[in-house]
Amino acid sequence: MINQNEQLGLEMMTNSLILPSLLIKHYNLVGLTDVELLVLLKILSINKDDIDNHEYLLRLPEAMSSERAEIKNSVASLMEKGLLTINAEPRMDMLYKLLEDIWEKENAQGDEGQLSAKVADSLFTIFEQEFGRLLTPMEASQINMWLTEDKYNYDIIKEALKRSVLRGVLNFKYVDSILREWAKKNFKTVKEIKAYEASYGNKRTGKSAKEPKRDSLDDKYNDIYMT
Contacts of 54 (CB under 8 A, 6+ apart): 87, 88
pLDDT, position 139: 92
pLDDT, position 198: 86
pLDDT, position 216: 43
Residues of the chain with confidence (pLDDT) below 50: 1, 8, 10, 12-13, 109-111, 209, 214-227
**pTM beyond 0.85, yes or no:** no
pLDDT, position 176: 96
Taking a C-beta distance cutoff of 8 angstroms, is the pair 40, 84 a contact?
yes
pLDDT, position 10: 45
pLDDT, position 127: 93
User: In whole angstroms, what is the distance from residue 125 CA to residue 197 CA?
Assistant: 28
User: In whole angstroms, what is the distance from residue 38 CA to residue 218 CA?
Assistant: 71
User: In whole angstroms, what is the distance from residue 160 CA to residue 129 CA?
Assistant: 15
Give the other-Cβ count within 10 Å of 51's Cβ. Answer: 13
pLDDT, position 110: 45
Taking a C-beta distance cutoff of 8 angstroms, is the pair 218, 204 a contact?
no
